[in-house]
Chains A and B, each alone.
Chain A
Amino acid sequence: MDSPNLAIDSLDCVVGDFSLRGVSLSVPGGEYHLLLGPTGSGKSTLIKCVLGLLSPSAGRILLGGEEITSFPPERRRLGYLPQNYALFPHLDVEQNILFSLKSGRISSARAHRDLEGLLSLLKIESLRKRRVRELSGGEKQKTALARALLARPRLLLLDEPFSAVDEGSRRSLWLELKRAAGEIGVTVIHITHHLDEAYTLGERISVLIDGKIRQSGSREEIFERPGSPEVARYLNYRNIFAGPIVKTESGWAVDLGHFRVAPPGPAPAAETAEVCLRPQDLKVIREDTPVRDALRANLFSGEIVSLFAFPEYCLMRFKIDGSPRAWDLELKFPAFISIRHRLAPGKRIRVAAWAPSIIVF
C-alpha cells in the first residue's frame, strides 16, 4: 500500500468558541502516530480538518506533497474511524464493510477480494451476516476498521478507537489494532487521551493542549523529556518547581528555599528555571545506607507524610526538613519497596533524585 507523508502547515480552525491555532504536524509515510491530549483539546477538530469535514480558516494540508486543503472529503481517500464507529444500522457487517463500493470508485471484484483479506486479518469472518446492534464494542471497532480499510485509504485516522471497548479487552485490542495497521502498512494517526494507550502504541507522539501542538517527538522524548510544564502536568508528572538559578561548587541548581534541585549539564542562560522530578524517578534511601555519587547532589532528608496503596504501585508524600509546606515531593514506586523499607507515615527517610532524570524546561 502506498503510504504518503502527511504535512499540516500552520493550520487555524474555529468551531464555535473553540479554535485550533497554528497547528503544524508532519507524519512520515507508514508511521503509527499518536495524537495525545485532554478531552476538548481539539484532537477531533484537527482530524476533521484533515478529513475535509471541517474547513480550516488558514493553513495548508499536504498529502504526499499534494495540497488537499480544499478537496471535498470524498476526494481525499482518507480512512476514518469515528469515536462511536458510526456503523450503518440499516446494514449488516458485510454490507457495512463493502459500503465504499457505493461510491463507484472501486471495482467490485477488488472489493470482494479485499473483503476476504480484511475479514481474516481482523479475525471477524464469523460476523459477516451479523446485525450491527448485536456486536460487542471490539467487534464494532474491527468492522469499522475493515470498512475504512476496504477503500484502501492513503492515511487512516482513528478517533479514540477504544472509547467504546470494554476496559478488560482494551489492552489486547491495542496490540491487535497496531499489528493489523502494520501488516497493511498504512500510515495511522490515532487520537487518544489515555496516557497508557499512547505510551504502548505510539512510535511518535504529538501532544495537543488547548488547540496548540505543544510537543512532537518519539515516545521516549515525550515521556522522558516533556518540553514544557504544560506537557509534564498533562502526563500527570508532579514535583514541578520554579525558582532562581544559583551557582554551586559542582555546577548550578534551582534554589527553592528550603531545598535545591541540581540538574546536570550547563546552566540555562536565564535568571530562573523550572524543573520536574518525576515521581517514578525518585528513590527511597534508608538512613543507614551509603549514597551513590549520582544521587548525592539531590539528596533530601525528611519524613513521610502519607502513603497511598494502589493495586500496581504506591504513592508517597514526603516533607523535606525545614519545609513550610504540608509536603514537598510525591513519589511513585512498586508496592514491594514499601514493605522492604517498612515505610509508614511519620517515618524519617531520605529521598534522592538521579541527576540525569531531572527534567529542565
Chain B
Amino acid sequence: MIAPARQSPRSILFSAVTLGATAALAGFFLLLIGTAAWEFWRGSFVSPPEAGRVAFAVRLSLLTATTASLLALAVSLPVSYLLARRSFPGKALIDTLLDLPLVLSPVALGAMLLLFFNTPSGRLLERIIGPVVFEVRGIVIAQFCVVVGLCIRLLKTAFEGVDPGYEEVARTLGLDRAATFFRVTVPLARPGITAAFLLAWARAIGEFGATVVLAGAITFKTETVPVSIYLNFATADITGAVAFILILVAVSLSTLFAVRKIRFLNYG
C-alpha cells in the first residue's frame, strides 16, 4: 500500500487558517441572526410589536424599493449598454462619476439631495414631480440615487458578457440598432439583468442613510423597515426593532439565494 503523501507543517497550517477563518466568520453571522431570533421569540410574549405599524412599514418599503429599483433599471439599461459597447472621450471620467454613489456614504448623498432640493433648480424639479422633502417621493429618490450606481455596474458586466458577434449577425439580418438591442442583447443578458434588479432591490429595501436625511423618519408616513429599526431602538423597543431586523434578514437572504440560482441560468 502506498502511504498518502505527508503534508508539510506549513501547508497544514495554511489549510487550518483558511478553514478556520471561514468557519469563524460564518459562525459569527449565524450567531448574530440567532441572537436576534432569540430576542424576538423571548420578547414577543411580553410586548408584541404593533401589527399595523409593521404592515405599514413593510408595504412602504416594498413599494418604494420596487419603484426605485425599476427606475434605476430603466435608467441604467441605456447607460450601461453605452459604457459596455462604445468608447468616447471622457468615458473614464463618466464611469468614475457614476461609481460615486457606490462608495459614497449614503448620509452624505442624502444631505446633498436635501441641499439640492433647497435650490431653485431643485424646487423647479419638485414643481414637476411633486413635493420630495419629507415625502414618500423622497424615499424613492434617495433609494434610486443609492442603487443606480450598483445597477449600472452590474448591467455593464452583463452586457460585456454578451458577445458582440451576436449583435453583428443580427444587424446583417436586417435589424437596426434598437431592434438588435431588444431582440438579441437584452434576451442574452437577461440572467444578468434579473440579478442586477434583484440586488438593487435588496439594497433599496435596506437603504437608511440617504432616506432618513431626505425623507425624514415620520411614523406612518416615511417609516420604511430600516427607519423603523432606528425608531424602535431610539425608543428602546427592542422586540419591535428585532421584528424588522428579521424581516430584512429574510428578504436579503432569499434575494441572494435567488441571484445565485439565476447566475446558473447560462445559455451556451
Contact = CB atoms under 8 A, between A and B. Distances in A.
9 contacts: A51-B168, A74-B172, A74-B174, A76-B172, A90-B267, A102-B183, A133-B268, A147-B169, A151-B173
Contact of B168 (A80, A90, A103, A105): A80
Nearest to A53: B168
Nearest to A76: B172
A150 to B, nearest CB: 8
Contacts, number: 68
Contacts of A82: 165, 168-169
Q: Interface centre among A76, A82, A84, by most B CB within 10 Å? A: A82
A100 B165 contact: no
Contact of B267 (A76, A89, A104, A147): A89
B39 interface: no
A86 B168 contact: yes
A61 interface: no
A89 B172 contact: no
A102 B172 contact: no
Given A102-B183, A103-B179, A86 B166 contact: yes
Interface string A59-82: 000000000000011101111101
A237 interface: no
B175 interface: yes
B166 A88 contact: yes
Given A74-B171, A79-B172, A90-B187, A102 B268 contact: no
Interface in A127-153: 133, 147-148, 151
Counting from the closest, the 10 A-B pairs by CB-CB distance are A103-B174, A89-B267, A73-B171, A100-B173, A80-B172, A86-B165, A86-B169, A105-B174, A74-B174, A90-B187
A74 B175 CA distance: 6
A99 interface: yes
Interface of B: 163, 165-166, 168-176, 179, 183-184, 187-188, 190, 267-268
A151 B184 CA distance: 17
A100 B173 CA distance: 5
B241 to A, nearest CB: 45
- Tell me what chain B mostly uses at the interface: helix, strand, loop, or mixed: helix
A82 B169 CA distance: 8
A340 B192 CA distance: 68
Interface residues on A, range: 20 to 34
A341 to B, nearest CB: 53
Nearest to A131: B267
Given A102-B175, A103-B179, A105-B174, A88 B184 contact: yes
Contacts of B176: 72, 74
Given A99-B173, A151-B174, A73 B168 contact: yes
A266 B118 CA distance: 93
A84 B166 CA distance: 10
Contacts of B175: 74, 102-103
A72 B176 CA distance: 8
A142 to B, nearest CB: 15
Given A90-B187, A103-B179, A84 B165 contact: yes
Contacts of A53: 168, 171-172
A80 B170 CA distance: 10
Contacts of A151: 173-174
A73 B172 contact: yes
B189 to A, nearest CB: 10
Contact of B173 (A52, A90, A133, A147): A147
Interface in A46-63: 48, 51-53
Contacts of B187: 88, 90
Contacts of B168: 48, 51, 53, 73, 80, 82, 86
Contacts of A133: 267-268
Given A86-B166, A89-B267, A90-B188, A51 B172 contact: yes
A33 B169 CA distance: 21
A52 B180 CA distance: 15
A51 B172 CA distance: 7
A86 B172 CA distance: 12
Q: Interface centre among B169, B170, B175, B268, by most A CB within 10 Å? A: B169
Nearest to A89: B267
Contact of A80 (B169, B183, B184, B268): B169
A171 to B, nearest CB: 26
B192 to A, nearest CB: 13
A80 B169 CA distance: 7
B200 to A, nearest CB: 23
Given A88-B184, A133-B268, A102 B179 contact: yes
A53 B166 CA distance: 12
Contacts of B184: 88
A67 B251 CA distance: 59
B188 A99 contact: no
Interface string A104-126: 11100000000000000000000
Nearest to A84: B165
A88 B169 CA distance: 9
Contacts of B179: 102-103
Contacts of B190: 90
Contact of B171 (A72, A89, A90, A148): A72
Contacts of A78: 172
